[in-house]
Each structure stands twice: as C-alpha cells, then as structure tokens.
C-alpha cells in the first residue's frame, strides 16, 4: 500500500499553509498527486439561513459583497496553494501519474459535507488545525470526513513540521478503528526509524503483542510502552501527551467507535491537548 491520491482541504485560514506543506510533502515523498480543495461560502444559503433562523434579511449590496469576498478568498487560496506546491517541486497534473503533482478544485456549499463527499476516492485526507481554539466547524469537518467518507484523516498542527514519521507512535486499544488507522498509516510507518506502540492501562496492553506481530509482517519493527490510566483523563488527551513525551513526530490512532469518541477526542482535556500539540495525528474511523 502507498498513497497515490491525497486530498488537502484548504480553507484559506491560518491552518492552510501547514495543511498545504504537509500534503505536498506527502505527494513528493510518495510520488503522489495532491488535490487542493477549497469550499466557498454559499452567500445565498447564508442569506436564507439568516432570514429563516434570525428573522433578519441581507440586502442586495451586502449579499454582493459576501459573494465578492468569497470569490476573492477562493482565488487567494488557490494562488497560495499552487505557489507553495510548485516551490516544493510538484507540477500541475497533466496526465503523468508517475511524478509528484497537484491539482486545484473549488466547490460551494457546506464545507464539512462537501469535504467528506469529495474525500471518498482519496487514499488520505489532510485537514488543518489552526492555533486558535479548535472550534465547532473544524470539529464537524473532521467528524464528517472520518465517519462519512471512510477515509483516514491526517490532522496537521498549525505549523508544518519539516519531517513526519521519523518516530511514529501508535495509540493502540485493540479496536477496529485503531487497526484501520495502523493500516492507513503503513506507508509512513514503513519509513519510520522508530515505532512505539502506546497503550493506556492493562486492558489496552493485552493485545500489544498481536499488533507488534502484525507490524513485523509488514516489515515494521515496533516496541511497546504501557502507561497507567488516570481517572478522569480522556484517553485522547493521554495518548497525545504520551506520544509527545516519547519524542514522536507522528501519532496514529483510531477514532472511537461510538458517539462518545467525539467528546473524548475534542472535549475537555483532549481539546486542549489537540489544540496545543505540535504532532501530526493520523485518525481512522
């Protein structure tokens, strides 16, 4: 398995540069194609929603301004994406599937829904985390993509690292989601100089030998670190912190199987850990 097609969701906001750089690095490393995907505001839908929910109407001039701002933001995002991709040695895709390349697409509508729909036929989706609070729309885009596209998601930190996966950590709990994350991360795990399987508590540790054996069959040598469970601490936050403590520059983990996974990953301590972490995190659901 390798990555051949990568989708980079480019909002045009503060996280876009890191998202672009990480996605282009992946394309260059694996001789893949990266598609920059930007979703414009749907000014008409915003106007209708505002009128319906708040009883407020947007006049024609204000609506035209919203449309103009949306077009400007999309054009700026595209120019920046293409410029950085070319600077990193990628070429516009012109039919040659053997060279690292890039493309650019723009759609209009609700970003979480459209990114999830677009992601279905890509090997990996790269989403950004800004250095602002991980707000609700960002969390929705991550959740929608993970649960509705069936594709793995690589969350980038607000500043792109120069290298990813020299020391990869795997958050292992024996779940199908964690197994899918490991499989999705194999191209990066095979490149890693060091791989650490992290388990939290005795119940997670029981299957650590099996995942280390699975990795060995794929040519990946890994070792196991067990950490004690702390009462009241979210598993997501604990994994992120322990991965950083071990010196990892990539964390591979499964999104939780049931509804509480969103709270476990994005709520409370996990929200803070995710917001402040400099780790790229590869998730699968």
Which tens digits make up the pLDDT trace of 57-97? 566 667 778 788 889 999 999 999 999 999 999 999 999 99
Confidence of residue 268 (pLDDT cuts 50, 70, 90): very low
Q: Is the pLDDT of residue 53 over 70?
A: no
Please identify, among 123, 156, 189, the residue that sits at the C-terminal boundary of a domain.
156
What is the structure's pLDDT at 155? Answer: 92
Count the domains in the chain: 2
- Tell whether 56 and 184 lie within a shared domain: no
What is the structure's pLDDT at 271? Answer: 55
- Tell whether 21 and 117 lie within a shared domain: yes
Please identify, among 88, 123, 156, the residue that sits at the C-terminal boundary of a domain.
156
* Cβ neighbours for 64, distance < 8 A, ≥ 6 positions apart: none
- Residue showing tokens 């989708």: 7
- Tell whether 192 and 110 lie within a shared domain: no
- Tell whether 92 and 199 lie within a shared domain: no
19-28, 161-170, 187-196: which range is least confident on average? 161-170
Q: Is the pLDDT of residue 110 over 50?
A: yes
Q: Is the pLDDT of residue 118 over 90?
A: yes
Task: Work out the average pLDDT over 155-164.
Answer: 89
**Structural domain for 97, as ranges:** 5-156
Helices (H), the chain: 16-29, 43-54, 60-87, 111-119, 136-149, 176-189, 202-205, 208-217, 235-245, 260-266, 268-276
Q: Is the pLDDT of residue 173 over 80?
A: yes
Strand order in the sheet with 281-284: 91-92, 101-108, 33-40, 5-9, 124-128, 153-156, 281-284, 250-254, 167-171, 194-200, 223-227
What is the structure's pLDDT at 235? Answer: 72
Task: Work out the average pLDDT over 228-253.
Answer: 83
- Tell whether 131 and 191 lie within a shared domain: no
What is the structure's pLDDT at 227? Answer: 84
What is the structure's pLDDT at 193? Answer: 97
What is the structure's pLDDT at 261? Answer: 47
pLDDT: which is higher, 226 or 196: 196
- Tell whether 127 and 57 lie within a shared domain: yes
pTM value? 0.89
Q: Is residue 162 part of a domain?
A: no
- Tell whether 149 and 180 lie within a shared domain: no
**In whole angstroms, how far apart are CA 234 and each of 197, 230, 241, 263, 271?**
18, 8, 11, 9, 10
Q: Is the pLDDT of residue 272 over 80?
A: no
CB 7 within 8 A of CB 124: yes
Q: Is the pLDDT of residue 133 over 60?
A: no
Q: Is residue 161 part of a domain?
A: no
- Tell whether 48 and 105 lie within a shared domain: yes
Cα–Cα distance measured from residue 153 to residue 253, given in angstroms and rounded to the nearest whole number: 10
């Amino acid at each position: 398995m390798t990555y051949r097609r990568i989708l980079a969701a480019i909002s045009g906001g503060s996280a876009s540069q890191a998202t672009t750089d990480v996605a282009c690095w992946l394309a260059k490393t694996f001789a893949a194609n990266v598609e920059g995907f930007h979703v414009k505001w749907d000014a008409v839908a915003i106007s209708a929603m505002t009128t319906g929910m708040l009883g407020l109407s947007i006049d024609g001039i204000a609506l035209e301004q919203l449309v103009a701002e949306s077009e400007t933001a999309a054009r700026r995002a595209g120019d920046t994406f293409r410029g950085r991709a070319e600077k990193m040695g990628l070429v516009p895709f012109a039919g040659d599937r053997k060279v690292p390349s890039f493309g650019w697409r723009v759609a209009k509508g609700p970003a979480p829904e459209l990114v999830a729909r677009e992601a279905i036929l890509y090997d990996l989706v790269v989403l950004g985390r800004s250095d602002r609070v991980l707000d609700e729309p960002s969390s929705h885009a991550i959740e929608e993509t993970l649960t509705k596209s069936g594709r793995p998601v690589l969350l980038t930190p607000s500043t792109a690292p120069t290298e990813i996966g020299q020391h990869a950590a795997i958050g292992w709990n024996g779940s199908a989601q964690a197994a899918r994350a490991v499989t999705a991360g194999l191209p990066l795990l095979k490149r890693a100089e060091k791989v650490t399987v992290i388990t939290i508590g005795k119940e997670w540790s029981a299957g650590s030998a099996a995942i280390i054996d699975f990795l060995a069959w794929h040519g990946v040598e890994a070792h196991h670190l067990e950490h004690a469970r702390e009462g009241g601490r979210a598993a997501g936050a604990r994994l992120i912190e322990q991965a950083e403590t071990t010196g990892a520059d990539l964390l591979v983990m499964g999104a939780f199987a049931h509804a509480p996974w969103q709270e476990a990953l994005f709520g409370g301590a996990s929200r803070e850990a995710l917001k402040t972490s400099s780790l790229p995190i590869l998730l699968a659901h």
